[in-house]
């Protein structure tokens, strides 16, 4: 398969389980699958084929199931969703839902996992299961192995996907050789001129600058980090938004804490002049096949030391350590433009569509040595946190046959976005492909999706776009921008698939300074915490994987 992504997706598992370090056993794969991929044969009969609801292995038939399910904040209960009613009717089952959103999800999930089997649901769906939980619950017998059910009889739609994505089960196989969770396929990428496909999140942090202000202070678009510095000083000193208040302009804002949205809003694209970007929460990076810990690199140190200077000069928003994404977006959307430079997934979401015209992407800047380096984010298209069956379930076959419908392309599309007639037009276009419905005044695609989607294991394959439905315009725009703008600054497309200590230190150094004096002690502390062992483990997992590919 072309592209490093696919290989790395399988590798991610090994890394996530560094503690165990057992080799990934690869798992049963799908060569026996026989139904045609993506065709209509398996995809359109779901409303009528209740006869395929299977009888259980042990003879005990169960038609009512309890599912603990994660939903988005705006979502109604899953039982109210038309797609769920359609799936239930097709298989003759009823579901008693326990739907949870937001902060309480983790808490309630933990309670449930620790309470033992009495209150155990039959399945966990979209419950943000962590690898450690999957592993622990699997070995304790709380989650049952699924590999014997992944076959043509019970899961025909999943088998169709596995036919074209045979590596996916390897990404779900735990070190003990069992598969406790179903794969979820989330592909949204673009083909680059090197022939590889890169995912939409490979550069998650776009830096954006107010070009109207740039003109107002008589500056060109910066090409170096020092040129940007001089621009920001002008943004700070002048009343560039022209509202009479010289102090309400924020030269540079971003979000630092990971939990507040730093994955797409931190400033590390601006670190490229110092030789790295740092998009991965674990600070894992790779160069020429050699794995290293980004937060222990000279590049990282130099970047923080440099930007501490900006912090002292008042060029950086004082709220970067405290604001969350909604406060950040409110800042961009206020009555007067206040953000000179900001970082986000895209421009309009922060400043609104009208004001977005005053902003442009800030190119990746050169550093003091005249160069830059972008580390691509690790991205994975197969996740394994979406569906687990517990030992409380008496009839896993029927339950898995029910959930298998979510891998049907037409059902999957409606789970991922919303029903036909609600999120998509009532009828497809002349090519048989569904368009997003015309939005109501003041409504956004994201909002409509949150209200209508059914979270769970689904298929979102590259080849499905333009075949069953069209990609959202905003996502397509981001992919185009990645390909046509951001990737011009990418020299190495090498990337690594998926030590808390660093975040508080980094906040301290950026805010208070002192990184030079404290750096050596910090490195010693990391070593005493076993950093070298962790890096060594990552390296040997990677080496084994690379060897297996030969």
Q: Which is nearer to Ca ion, 235 or 486 (CB)?
A: 235
Q: Which is nearer to Ca ion, 216 or 422 (CB)?
A: 216
Q: Which residue has the tokens 């379930």?
A: 393
CB neighbours of residue 359 within 10 Å: 24
Q: Tell the smallest beta-carbon distance from residue 238 to Ca ion (Å).
A: 8
Q: Which residue has the tokens 């096949």?
A: 289
Whole-angstrom distance, CA of residue 363 vs CA of residue 254:
17
Q: Which residue has the tokens 């695609």?
A: 445
Q: Which is nearer to Ca ion, 174 or 232 (CB)?
A: 232
List CB contacts of 265: < 8 A, sequence separation 6 or more: 205, 254, 255, 325, 328, 342, 343, 344, 345
Q: Which residue has the tokens 């419950």?
A: 127
Residues 10, 415, 446, 101: is their CA dihedral positive or negative? negative
Per DSSP, 210 falls in state E
Q: Which is nearer to Ca ion, 239 or 516 (CB)?
A: 239
Per DSSP, 245 falls in state -
Question: Would strands 184-186 and 123-125 be described as parallel, antiparallel, or unpaired?
Answer: unpaired
Q: Which is nearer to Ca ion, 211 or 476 (CB)?
A: 211
Angle between helices 531-549 and 515-528 (to 10 degrees): 70
Pick from 445, 419, 450, 446: nearest CA to 434: 419
Phi/psi for 6 (5° steps) reads: -60, -45
Q: With H, G, I as helix, E, B as strand and everything else as coil, classify residue 530.
A: coil
Q: Which is nearer to Ca ion, 239 or 443 (CB)?
A: 239
Q: Tell the smallest beta-carbon distance from residue 213 to Ca ion (Å).
A: 10
Q: Which is nearer to Ca ion, 58 or 239 (CB)?
A: 239
Q: What is the DSSP string of 207-265?
A: EEEEHHHHHHTT-PPP-BHHHHHHHHHHHHHS-TT-SS-TT--EEEE---SGGGTHHHH
Q: Determine contact, residues 121/392, Cβ cutoff 8 Å.
A: yes
Q: Tell the smallest beta-carbon distance from residue 336 to Ca ion (Å).
A: 7
Q: Which is nearer to Ca ion, 37 or 237 (CB)?
A: 237
Q: Determine contact, residues 208/250, Cβ cutoff 8 Å.
A: no
Q: Which is nearer to Ca ion, 63 or 238 (CB)?
A: 238
Q: Which is nearer to Ca ion, 78 or 241 (CB)?
A: 241
Q: Tell the smallest beta-carbon distance from residue 245 to Ca ion (Å).
A: 4
Q: Tell the smallest beta-carbon distance from residue 337 to Ca ion (Å).
A: 9
Q: What share of the chain is helix, strand, coil (3-state, %, to 5)?
A: 45, 15, 45
Q: Tell the smallest beta-carbon distance from residue 215 to Ca ion (Å).
A: 16
Q: Tell the smallest beta-carbon distance from residue 239 to Ca ion (Å).
A: 4
Cα radius of gyration (the chain): 25
Question: Would strands 94-100 and 64-70 be described as parallel, antiparallel, or unpaired?
Answer: parallel
Q: Tell the smallest beta-carbon distance from residue 360 to Ca ion (Å).
A: 21
Q: With H, G, I as helix, E, B as strand and everything else as coil, classify residue 145.
A: coil
Residues at the contact surface with Ca ion, assessed by CB under 5 A: 239, 241, 243, 245, 248
Q: Tell the smallest beta-carbon distance from residue 243 to Ca ion (Å).
A: 5
Q: Tell the smallest beta-carbon distance from residue 361 to Ca ion (Å).
A: 24
């Amino acid at each position: 398969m072309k592209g490093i992504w696919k290989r790395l997706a399988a590798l991610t598992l090994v890394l996530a389980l560094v503690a165990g370090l057992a080799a990934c056993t690869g798992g049963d794969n799908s060569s026996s699958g026989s139904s045609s991929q993506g065709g209509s044969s398996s995809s359109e009969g779901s409303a009528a084929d209740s006869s395929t609801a299977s009888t259980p292995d042990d003879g005990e038939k169960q038609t009512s199931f309890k599912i603990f399910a994660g939903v988005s904040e705006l979502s109604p209960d899953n039982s109210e969703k038309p797609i769920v009613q359609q799936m239930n009717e097709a298989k003759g089952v009823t579901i008693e839902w326990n739907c949870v959103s937001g902060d309480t999800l983790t808490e309630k999930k933990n309670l449930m996992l620790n309470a033992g089997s009495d209150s155990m649901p039959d399945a966990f769906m979209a419950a943000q299961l962590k690898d450690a939980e999957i592993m622990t619950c699997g070995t304790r017998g709380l989650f049952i192995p699924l590999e014997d059910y992944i076959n043509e009889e019970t899961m025909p739609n999943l088998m169709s996907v596995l036919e074209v994505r045979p590596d996916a089960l390897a990404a779900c196989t735990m070190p003990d050789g069992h598969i406790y969770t179903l794969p979820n396929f989330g592909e949204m990428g673009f083909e680059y001129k090197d022939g590889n496909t890169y995912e939409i999140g490979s550069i998650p942090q776009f830096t954006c600058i107010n070009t109207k202000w740039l003109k107002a202070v008589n500056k060109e678009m910066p090409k170096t980090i020092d040129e940007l510095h001089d621009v920001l000083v002008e943004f700070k000193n002048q009343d560039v938004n022209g509202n009479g208040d010289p102090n309400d302009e924020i030269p540079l804002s971003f979000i630092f804490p990971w939990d507040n949205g730093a994955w797409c809003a931190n400033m590390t694209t601006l670190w490229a002049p110092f030789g790295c970007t740092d998009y991965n929460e674990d600070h894992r990076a790779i160069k020429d096949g050699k794995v290293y810990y980004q937060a222990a690199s000279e590049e990282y140190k130099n970047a923080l030391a440099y930007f501490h200077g900006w912090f002292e000069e008042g060029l950086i928003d004082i709220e970067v350590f405290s604001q969350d994404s909604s406060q950040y977006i409110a800042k961009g959307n206020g009555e007067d433009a206040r953000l000179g430079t900001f970082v986000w997934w895209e421009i309009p979401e922060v400043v609104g569509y009208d004001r977005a015209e005053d902003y442009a992407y800030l190119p990746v800047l050169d550093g003091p040595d005249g160069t830059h380096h972008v580390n691509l984010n690790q991205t994975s298209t197969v996740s394994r946190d979406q569906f687990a069956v517990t030992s409380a379930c008496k009839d896993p076959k029927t339950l898995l046959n029910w959930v298998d419908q979510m891998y049907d392309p037409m059902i999957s599309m409606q789970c991922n976005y919303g029903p036909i007639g609600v999120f998509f037009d009532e009828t497809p276009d002349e090519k048989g492909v569904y368009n997003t419905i015309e939005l109501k005044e003041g409504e956004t695609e994201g909002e409509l999706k949150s209200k209508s989607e059914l979270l769970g294991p689904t298929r979102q394959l590259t080849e499905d776009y333009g075949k069953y439905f069209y990609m959202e315009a905003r996502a397509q725009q981001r992919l185009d921008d990645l390909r046509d703008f951001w990737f011009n600054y990418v020299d190495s497309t090498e990337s690594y698939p998926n030590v808390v200590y660093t975040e508080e230190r980094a906040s301290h150094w950026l805010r208070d300074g002192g990184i030079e004096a404290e750096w050596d002690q910090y490195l010693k502390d990391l070593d005493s915490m076993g950093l070298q062992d962790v890096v060594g483990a990552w390296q040997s997992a990677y080496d084994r994987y690379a060897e297996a590919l030969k």
